[in-house]
Amino acid sequence: MSTWLHWDSVDAFLAMGGYGLHVWGAYGATAAALALEGWLAHRRARRARDAALTAALARAKNTVAAR
């Protein structure tokens, strides 16, 4: 397994041959952007669902009241 790993140490892995800031910066920005997009989309879905079910329940209540 040790031959499968390209790096000799954790420090070497983090340093990325002197490009650590660039590589980890790019990956960090990607992770942050995708996390934000995921959170926003799920929040929108949750709100839409709650609003739709509130409307559906209100309609059901009106139907019962009308009888």
Partner 1 sequence: MRFTTYAAPSRFHRLTTLLLPWLWATAALSAAAGLAVGLLHAPTDAQQGDAYRIIFIHVPAAWMSMVVYLAMAGWAAVGWIWRVRLASMLARALAPTGLVCTALALVTGAVWGKPTWGTWWVWDARLTSELILLLLYAGYLALVESIDDPRRADRAGALLAVVGAVNVPVIYFSVRWWNTLHQGASITLGRAPSMADSMLLAMGLTTLAFWAWAFAIVFVRVRAIVLERERDAEWVRALDDTRSTDAAVARMRGAAA
**14 near partner 1, rule: CB under 8 A:** no
**Site mask for partner 1 (CB under 8 A), range 38-67, x = bound:** x-xxx-xxxxxxxxxxxxxxxxxx------
Could you give the CA distance from residue 38 to residue 58 in angstroms, rounded to a whole number?
30
Backbone φ, ψ for residue 8 (5° rounding): -85, -25
Task: Report the Cα 7 to chain-centroid distance in Å.
Answer: 30
**19 near partner 1, rule: CB under 8 A:** yes
What are the residues binding partner 1 (CB under 8 A)? Answer: 4-7, 13, 16-19, 22-23, 25-27, 29-30, 33-34, 37-38, 40-42, 44-61
